[in-house]
Amino acid sequence: MKKKLILDVDTGVDDAQAIMMALASPNVEILAITCSNGNTSLDNTCRNTLRVLKVCNRLDIPVYRGCSEPLLGCKHDAEDFHGKDGLGDVPDPDAPGLELLQGEKAVLAMIKMVKENPGQVSLVVTAPLTNLAVAVQLDPSFPKKLKALYIMGGNTESRGNTTVCGEFNFVADPEAAYVVLERYTCPTYIATWEFSCRNILPWSFCDTWLAQDTDKARFMEKIFRHTRKMLQTERYQKELEGGPGFNPCDCFAMAAAIDDTLVTESQEVAVTVELEGKFTRGMMVLDYIHELKKKHKAVLMKKVDSEKFKQLMMNALK
């Protein structure tokens, strides 16, 4: 029986990599892709998602428009990192138009699909958590009907990539991240920023990955050029551990949802999100001393089977 997934994305280059990984996995059924503001504007996110589906010949998968701004506070984006359009500023005159989006709103579609498949659907979120926060507000029983939740976001050691202490997806909507970590009591697996930095892939693998003779690989090579230049700067290489390489951060959460045996080491701990600190707003907080009195604990990924992960990456562009 195939794993039923809903992907919640803010499609920049790393989301595109993760979507393509899921599309290439024979044991996965993607019920829908829901879009959010984040790496780039909501319209760009929707367009980019459709572009990825087109290159993979999977425009049959429904795509839904979600939240265009965070619950509170200012918008953040990563257009300096992913390009102004979110996909490396490589225009495609034949890209699918927004008329291919579903008419129903993302959050309502998400609630409906999970209700129709109770206990069978896993959510994989590689975006700010706004859509999920709105979903639980509209249907408080929504998290209980999920099989599992996989998140790329947050941090474990106050290492930031957007603010001093904050990871992008959580900083882009701290209130949403707080709501999700408080109210989603389904099994929750988190691929944090530090985790992804410790499980980087060498540039030699990247070259092999992109050299595959396929339309998918050629597409990825084009949209990845801008981000690769950013990743190879001294600033970004300093953030990584284990030597020079690239960090396909969203792919870790996706890979864990696809293959239950991928994560080889993890830890369970109660978590929340700081909302008020000058330097720590959006930082994920780990409660090792049980001060929060929370029954629900998240599973924080620590190590992965690198060979299995590389194979999933390779398969994505075959």
Q: What is the pLDDT of residues 161-196, one digit of tens each?
A: 999 999 999 999 999 999 999 999 999 999 999 999
Q: How confident is the model at residue 127 (pLDDT cuts 50, 70, 90)?
A: very high
Q: Considering only residues 75 and 251, tell me which one the structure prediction assigns the higher pLDDT.
A: 251
Catalytic residue, from 10, 14, 139, 173: name it. 10
pLDDT the model gives residue 230 = 83
Q: What is the pLDDT of residues 228-284, one digit of tens each?
A: 988 887 777 777 766 678 899 999 999 999 999 999 999 999 999 999 999 999 999
pLDDT the model gives residue 79 = 87
Our answer to whether residue 10 is catalytic in this structure is yes
Would the pTM of this model clear 0.85, i.e. be above it? Answer: yes
Q: Is residue 292 pLDDT above 80, yes or no?
A: yes
pLDDT the model gives residue 242 = 61
Q: Is residue 115 pLDDT above 70, yes or no?
A: yes
pLDDT the model gives residue 75 = 87
pLDDT the model gives residue 266 = 98
DSSP string over the chain: -PEEEEEEE--SHHHHHHHHHHHT-TTEEEEEEEE-SSSS-HHHHHHHHHHHHHHTT-TTS-EEE--SS-SSS-----HHHH-TTSSTT---TTPPPGGGS-SS-HHHHHHHHHHHSTTTEEEEE-S-SHHHHHHHHH-TTHHHH-SEEEEE---SSS--SSSSS--HHHHT-HHHHHHHHHH--S-EEEE-HHHHHHT-B-HHHHHHHHTSSSHHHHHHHHHHHHHHHHHTSHHHHHH-SSSS-B--HHHHHHHHHH-TTSEEEEEEEEEEE--S-TTTTT-EEEETT-TT--S--EEEEEEE-HHHHHHHHHHHT-
pLDDT the model gives residue 159 = 86
Domains and CATH numbers, the chain: 3-316 (3.90.245.10)
Q: What is the mean pLDDT of residues 296-317?
A: 98
When mean pLDDT is compared across 126-135, 148-157, 223-232, 307-316, the lowest value belongs to: 223-232
Q: What is the mean pLDDT of residues 47-71?
A: 98
Q: Is residue 151 pLDDT above 70, yes or no?
A: yes
Q: Is residue 81 pLDDT above 90, yes or no?
A: no
